[in-house]
Structure 1
Amino acid sequence: MTPLTLPAEDSGAFTPPTLEDMHLPAIFPWGAHEGFSKQMLMVLLSVVFIAWFFIAASRKGQLVPGKLQFAGEYLYGFVRNSIGKDIIGGKDFMKFVPLLFALFFFILVNNIYGAIPFFQLPTMSHVGGAYFLAALVYVTWIGVGLKKFGARFLKLTVVPAGVPWYILPIVVPIEIISNFIVRPMTHSLRLFATMLAGHLVVALAGSGIAFLIAQESVVLKGTSLLVLVGATAMYMLEALIMVLQAYVFTLLTAIYIQGALHADAH
């Protein structure tokens, strides 16, 4: 058996973390590979936490808000004005604020889990959650367009205004693929891939530090400090990306809704 085929514990080789390391055993299993997992528990806890925070922040409305009320009003105002009103427009935005609000804070909390000790797992690093949210948005903006324009919305979506008729055989298939296939896929995969990649990098750095510290060489032990500095920087960058991805996902949702509402202006 060559050294390349020896197990890590026999050869002393570094064993990097894998995707399987991010799928923890089910808390309450009900099948060979199924059960109530840590990820599911964290998703439920995020809903409880978000509901508790904003109910507590709005329970005692005061003219001069306290810290909790101020934080709740500021966060709500950010989604309402900076995403809803600025993107969708002052005439139609209010009816979509609950959706934008729920999406932003649900994604934010489930992303931030990855930066919190003990939780240490952004639930959106599992593609199922990202697919579900993207599918919800997909159905929403198409429904908004159909409600306003009827079946004509489908034509407005795939036939850009002002395009010569002889170019339409090329443009229409591209628009169909772009709007109805690529858009929901990129909407979900952007969130999932960034959360998964960032968490894997941090996990890889952590495993590397543990491996270097366990070595007998003083040089390798000292190298672990450099890896720690890099891992700290990556940790902070991942935390920033967690917030940005919640914002980007919600912003794109508002853009898609705005496009559906004004499809006849394109």
Structure 2
Amino acid sequence: MGRFDGRVAVITGAARGIGFGTATRFAEEGASVAIVDLDGGAASEAAAKLSVADGAKAIGVGADVSDAASVDAAIERVVSELGGIHILVNNAGITRDNLLFKMTEDDWDLVMGVHLKGAFLMSKAAQKHFVEQKYGKIVNISSISALGNRGQANYSAAKMGVQGLTRTLGIELGPFGINTNAVAPGFIATEMTDATAARLKLDVDEFRRLNAEANPVRRVGFPEDIAAAVCFLASDEASYITGQTLYVDGGISLGT
């Protein structure tokens, strides 16, 4: 028996990285999984890699989370093909880093659209089903960058906005049996952070070493670390927790 037997979990931006690691964990624990990604082909390929339990399914769904019609169509497809929806993980994200004086309106709008508007639209579409069944779990992916990070005015603002959205949905949706929480990762070894190393003209291993040395536990995080936290918050073990943001960052936010 898995914690998520009979449950349907939707994870956005899950074709790779933290999202795929989270989808893998849900599948391992018995859930049917929908991988939602802007690249529908990549979503389907990622879903095909998941080892689901007997009776469970995995599908890939192409969708633009910043577009309401696309979001609504994705949720309806999930419900139609997987038989319902019980868990939503808002993970989709992009970066358009730059210092303020170089940052364009498009840089700002794209990041806000995917991270913050995307979480809003996906949550709005899913809650219709959650309210009707008096059950649902929403886990939003924030970031330690919500506390402020040079060259990430757009990303930091979006990720702190995600925390405000999380608290508000906790208040609004709690009476309907819906828990809403967030996870704020620190440095996680993914393709995205490897790309940051390349942009900074640093060797990937050296970049990871420097980030490991900056936190108390002296290692970098991996998608599996975030997946463990997300799955806890999406489980019935966390049914008395809502509106909270859990920092999973090796302790760097402690300021040590």
The TM-score, its normalising length taken from structure 2, stands at 0.29
Structure number with the bigger relative contact order (C-alpha 8 A, sep ≥ 6) is 1
The TM-score, its normalising length taken from structure 1, stands at 0.28
Which of the two has greater strand per residue?
2
Higher-Rg member (1/2): 1
Which of the two has greater helix per residue?
1
